[in-house]
Structure 1
Amino acid sequence: MTKQFWNVLKVSPVIAATLLSANSALANEVQESVTSVAQLSQQTDNIGQVTSVSQFSDVQPTDWAFQALQSLVERYGCIAGYPNGTYRGNRALTRYEFAAGLNACLDRVNELIATATADMVSKQDLATLQRLQEEFSAELATLRGRVDALEARTAELEANQFSTTTKLKGEAIFSLDQVFGDQVAGGGDLESNTTFSDRVRLSLESSFTGSDTLQMRMSAGNFIQNNDVTGTRMTRLGFAEETGNNIEFDKINYAFNFGEKIRVKVDAAGAEMYENINSFNPDFKSSGTGAISRYGRFSPIYRQGNGGAGVTVQLNPKGAFTLSAAYLAPDNPNDPDQKNGIFDGSSTIFGQLEFKPSKAFNIGFTYARSYERGGFVDLTNSTGGLNARRPFGNVATTSDNYGVQASFQPSSRIAVGGWAGYTNAQSEVSDSDADLFYWAATLAVRDLGREGNTLGLIFGQPPKVTGANGTATEDSDTSYHLEGLYKMRLTDNIMITPGLLVIFNPEHDNSNDTIYVGTLRTTFKF
C-alpha cells in the first residue's frame, strides 16, 4: 500500500516518510501482539544521524524509495541509520524508533519554518497530508481499533499467563499395530493380536536469558514391546514406551551458551545423545513423527550412554565445523553404592566432528567408548540381534564404537541419508572380544501428494557380530531391515503415519521366517 501511495499520489518526501512510519508502527503493533512478553521488553538498536544517503550500505539507487530517502536525508536531514552503516528499509519499525524519527523530522520542519528558507514545507504538502488523512480516516480508525483490541488482549494475557518464562509443549500418540508372519524367530508359531496403544508427553521448557532452556518432561505410555511375540528386538517400534500409563519425569536438563561459540547441556536424567547433537537424519529421527522402527530413526551409536545423566559441550554449533564432546552415565548415576554413581558405574565418553558446508550436504564422524557393568549390558540398545547386544552374555563389557553419518539434499523435496558403524567389544571378565557392523540408507520425498506430507524408505543391516573370539558367537547369516512409511500432515498439529516394517532373516539367521510389523500412528502436537 505504501509503495502505491508514493507512485500514484506523488506526495512530498516528508508526507511519504510520515505515512510509511505510521504504517510500519501499526504493523509493528500487530506483530508485537503475538510475541512473547520477553520480546516486548527488548530494547531497540542505537541509531545515528546521517548526512548523505550514500552512507547506507544497504540502500541502492535502484530501490523504489531511493529518491524519497535521498530527499529526506539531504534536504530535511531527519533520517537516522544504524551504527554499522545500514538503514534496514525492510525491517519492521518499533514505536520508539518511529517516535525518534518523527521528532527529528518535526524539529527540522519547525527549523525551516522559523528561518523561512526556500526549502521549507509548502502549503501544498500540508493540504495533501490533510486530504490523505480525510480519505483514509476510515481505514486508520479500523487499524486504531484493532491495535486497541490487541493491546487489551495482550494485557489480559499478561495478567493470566501461565508463566513469563515457561512454555508447555505436548505430544500424544495413538497407535494401531499388528505383527504378521509364520514363525517366531527361533522357532514356533507366531501368534499376535492387533493392539491399540498410547504415549503422552508433556514438556515444561523455561528460559531465563533468552538463549538458555530448562526442560522438565513428563511421560506416560502403555505400549507392550513386541519382541516377546516376534522373538527379536529387531521388530521394536521407535515410539513404544511402557509405564502402565503412570506419569514419570523421564527427562530433566539445562542447556545454555558459554560465549558465542560454545553450547553446553547438562542432563540430570533421561540424557539422549541424538537430542544433544546432530544425528544426520532429520526426517526420521523423531519418535513421534519420524521412523516407525527403533533402528530406522538414527545410527545406534547415538544410543551409547542414553538414559542417565551427563554433560554435552558443542564448539561452534552454528558454524560449518562443529566439534561435540560428551560424558554420560546411563545407569544409576544418583546411587552412591559400589559400581554405581557418575564414575564407578556404566559410562560413555563421546565425540563427534561435523562438517556442514551447506544445507544440501552434511557429514559427521563419531566415536564413543562405553563401559557397561554386568547385568546392564546392551551394546546396541535393542536395535540388533541378541549376539550383537550381548556378545559375551550379561557380563561387564567395554566397547569402542566408530560411526560415519551423512545427509544429502539435492533439492528441497528430496533428502538422501545414511550411516555405517563398527564396534569392537571386549569382555571385562575374560579375554573374549567381538566385532560388530551395521549400516542403513534412507530416502525422504517431501511434499508428495500434498504440502507437508513425506514418503520415507529405510533399508539396512541391523548390528551384526562379524568376528568373534572366546565366548562370543559370530552371526552366520545377515538380517535386512526394510521400512516404508507415509507421513500425512492433516494440520499443523495432527499427523497420521501408516507404515510397514519388514525384517528378513531375523536374528541374522536365514532359517527364521520373514516378520512384518504394520502400524498406523497418529500424532497430536500442542
Structure 2
Amino acid sequence: MKKHLAVLAATAVLGVTSAFAANPFSDVTPQDWAYQAVAQLASQGIVNGYPDGTFQGQNNITRFEMAQMVAKAMTRQGQVDAEQNAVINRLANEFSAELNSLGVRVSTLENKVGNFKFTGDARLRYTGNDTDTYTYKLDKEGNEAITPNNKSNFDYRGRVQFEATVNDNTKAVVRVAASKEFGAAGSPSTSIDRVYVQHNFGKYATTTVGRQDLFIGNGLTYDSDFEGAAVKFGKDTLNASVAYGYATDMAFKMVAGNETDTIVTKAPLFNEEQKDNAQLVVFQVNGKLGKDVKAGAFYTRVGATDATEAFSRTVLAPVGTALKDKSLDFYGVHANAKLGSKVAVDGEFAKFREIKHSNAWTAGVTYGNYNMKKQGTWSLKAQYTSLGEFAPVFASTYWAPANQNLKTWSVQGKYAVADNVGLAAYTTIDAKDQEGNKVSNFYRADLNYKF
C-alpha cells in the first residue's frame, strides 16, 4: 500500500478534522490529492517524515511504519467512537509483533488471549471514626438491633474482570471480586459482582443487559450494583439514557449525633411482593456546555407502593413521621467545570419528589492533575455536603459516615506513588447532624493498584 493511501485511511479511522492544518513536508504540495490527509495526521503527530523533511508518499509503506501509525492511533482511542475503536483494535492485533518491538505497552496486546481481555485492580483500605459509633438496624419487618461498630477497620479487596469479544459490536463481561478484613476469621468472601452483555447499535446507541454499574447523576445518590437493562443514546456532547431493573444497594443510613457517640440507623428500601431489591426506572440526560463544562439531570422512578410502605414503617414511623403520598421518586441536577489546567469545580443537587426534608447537595473544588497512570501526579479537593433527614442518597461516590441527616466539610488528597499505583486519603471535618449535634468524623485511606 502506498503511504498516501495509508494516511487517507487513517484519517477516516480516527475522525481527524483539522481542516486548516499546515503541511510540514516539502514533497507534498497543495495540488496533491492526499495533501489534506497528510497535513491533518502530521498536525496530530500521527505521521512523521524523514530527516530531510520529505514524506515520500510514492513509496510503499512498511509494516514497521504502519505499526508506528497504529501506536499513535491507540493513544486517541478515548476520543473516537466504538466503530473506530474496533478498527484500531484489529490493526493493533495485526501489527502486534511490530508494536511490541516498539515497546508499546497496551492492554489490548498484553492482556489478550484469543478474544479474551482481562484487567483488574487491588485495594488496601483503612477506615475509622474519631469516637465510638453504634448502629441501630431495622430489618424488613421493623425488628430492632443495636450493635457497636469497630472504631477502625483495615481490609483488602481484589477484582479481576474478563471481557470477551463476541463480534465487532458485542462484548460479554464477567468480574470476580474477593475481599476480607485483616485478622477476621475465615476466608475472603468471593463473588461474581459483574455479569453483563453490551451491544452497540451503530455509532449512537449502546445497550447493556445484566448485573452492571449504575451511576446516577454525578454519583451523589447512587453509584453501585444494578441488575437490569440500560440503553444509552448519543455521544459525549449530548446523550440520554434509560435504565430499568433492580438496585441491589439501596438502604437508608441516617445519622443522629451527640457529644459522645454517633447512632447510625439502617433500614432497607425494598419491594416486598416483587423483589427484595428496589425496582427503578432511571432517566438521565448529560452533555457538554462548551469545551470545559459538563452538566446533566436525572429522574428516578421507584416502582410499586410496597417500597413506600416499607419506608414509612421502618424509617419514618420510628421517628414519628408519616408519609402521605405513595411515591419515592427522586430527581436531581449536576455540573462540573474546568477552570484552567489544574482547577475544577463540581456540584450536585437531589431530592425526593414528595418528601419534605429530603434535599441533598454537595459542592467541591479540586486543584491538581491527578492521573493514576502517571507517577508523581496529585490533587487536593475540598468539599461541603448537606444531606437532609430523608435525602435520596444510598450508595454515594462521596465518602461520608452516613447518607442522611448529615452536614460536613471534607478534604481529600490523591497521589500517584508509581504508574498505576494511587494513594488517596480523606476525612470529614466538623461533621454534624441537621440539628447541629456533633457526629463522629470519618476518615479513610486507600492504596490502589490497577493492572
- Taking structure 2 as the reference length, the TM-score comes to 0.62
1:315 alignment partner AA:
F
Secondary structure at 2:189 match in 1: coil
Structure 1 residue 215, shift from structure 2 partner: 1.9
Residues 425-464 of structure 1 mapped to structure 2, 5 A cutoff: 425=354, 436-447=358-369, 451-464=376-389
Are 1:416 and 2:416 an aligned pair? Answer: no
Aligned residues of 1:483 and 1:501 also touching (Cα < 8 A): yes
Identity across matched positions, percent: 15
1:458 alignment partner AA:
Q
Aligned CA distance change for structure 1 residues 149 and 256 (closer, same or farther; 3 Å) = closer
- Which structure: greater strand fraction? 2
Residues 181-260 of structure 1 mapped to structure 2, 5 A cutoff: 181=131, 192-210=150-168, 212-223=170-181, 245-260=188-203
Q: Which moved more, 1:255-264 or 1:174-183?
A: 174-183
Aligned residues of 1:502 and 1:515 also touching (Cα < 8 A): no
In the alignment, which residue of structure 2 is the partner of 1:314? 232
Are 1:489 and 2:416 an aligned pair? Answer: yes
Aligned residues of 2:236 and 2:287 also touching (Cα < 8 A): no
In the alignment, which residue of structure 1 is the partner of 2:296? 364
Aligned CA distance change for structure 1 residues 265 and 498 (closer, same or farther; 3 Å) = same
Are 1:92 and 2:47 an aligned pair? Answer: yes
Aligned CA distance change for structure 1 residues 202 and 262 (closer, same or farther; 3 Å) = same
Aligned residues of 1:220 and 1:243 also touching (Cα < 8 A): no
2:213 alignment partner AA:
E
Identify the match of residue 65 of structure 1 among 25, 42, 49.
25
2:126 alignment partner AA:
L
Identify the match of residue 330 of structure 1 among 240, 247, 257.
247
Aligned residues of 1:367 and 1:403 also touching (Cα < 8 A): yes
Aligned CA distance change for structure 1 residues 217 and 479 (closer, same or farther; 3 Å) = same
CA distance in 2, matches of 1:216, 1:318: 26
Secondary structure at 1:255 match in 2: strand
Aligned length: 348
Secondary structure at 1:307 match in 2: strand
Identify the match of residue 519 of structure 1 among 441, 444, 450.
444
In the alignment, which residue of structure 2 is the partner of 1:7? none
CA distance in 2, matches of 1:479, 1:498: 20
Aligned CA distance change for structure 1 residues 375 and 222 (closer, same or farther; 3 Å) = farther
Structure 1 residue 249, shift from structure 2 partner: 0.3
CA distance in 1, matches of 2:132, 2:111: 56
Structure 1 residue 364, shift from structure 2 partner: 0.9
Secondary structure at 1:101 match in 2: coil
CA distance in 2, matches of 1:457, 1:181: 23
Secondary structure at 2:441 match in 1: strand
Residues 139-178 of structure 1 mapped to structure 2, 5 A cutoff: 150=100, 162-178=112-128
CA distance in 2, matches of 1:478, 1:159: 49
In the alignment, which residue of structure 1 is the partner of 2:76? none
Aligned residues of 1:198 and 1:223 also touching (Cα < 8 A): yes
Aligned CA distance change for structure 1 residues 495 and 307 (closer, same or farther; 3 Å) = closer
Are 1:403 and 2:362 an aligned pair? Answer: no
Identify the match of residue 504 of structure 1 among 431, 434, 442.
431
CA distance in 2, matches of 1:172, 1:316: 33
Structure 1 residue 415, shift from structure 2 partner: 0.9
Secondary structure at 1:69 match in 2: coil
Aligned residues of 1:211 and 1:256 also touching (Cα < 8 A): yes
Q: CA RMSD in A?
A: 5.0
Aligned CA distance change for structure 1 residues 442 and 387 (closer, same or farther; 3 Å) = farther
Identify the match of residue 299 of structure 1 among 217, 220, 223.
220
Aligned residues of 2:127 and 2:444 also touching (Cα < 8 A): yes
**Residues 229-282 of structure 1: CA deviation (Å, up to 9, x unaligned):** xxxxxxxxxxxxx9962210011122232122222222x12x3321xx7x44xx
**Residues 368-392 of structure 1: CA deviation (Å, up to 9, x unaligned):** 111367589998xxxxx96599997
Secondary structure at 1:498 match in 2: strand
CA distance in 2, matches of 1:58, 1:161: 39
Aligned residues of 1:388 and 1:436 also touching (Cα < 8 A): no
CA distance in 2, matches of 1:190, 1:522: 27
CA distance in 2, matches of 1:149, 1:325: 40
CA distance in 1, matches of 2:419, 2:291: 24
CA distance in 2, matches of 1:259, 1:243: 48
Aligned CA distance change for structure 1 residues 168 and 402 (closer, same or farther; 3 Å) = same
Query: Larger relative contact order (C-alpha < 8 A, sep ≥ 6)?
Result: 2
In the alignment, which residue of structure 1 is the partner of 2:397? none
1:371 alignment partner AA:
G
CA distance in 1, matches of 2:429, 2:341: 28
CA distance in 2, matches of 1:505, 1:57: 56
Aligned CA distance change for structure 1 residues 153 and 89 (closer, same or farther; 3 Å) = closer
- Which structure: greater helix fraction? 1
CA distance in 1, matches of 2:11, 2:293: 38
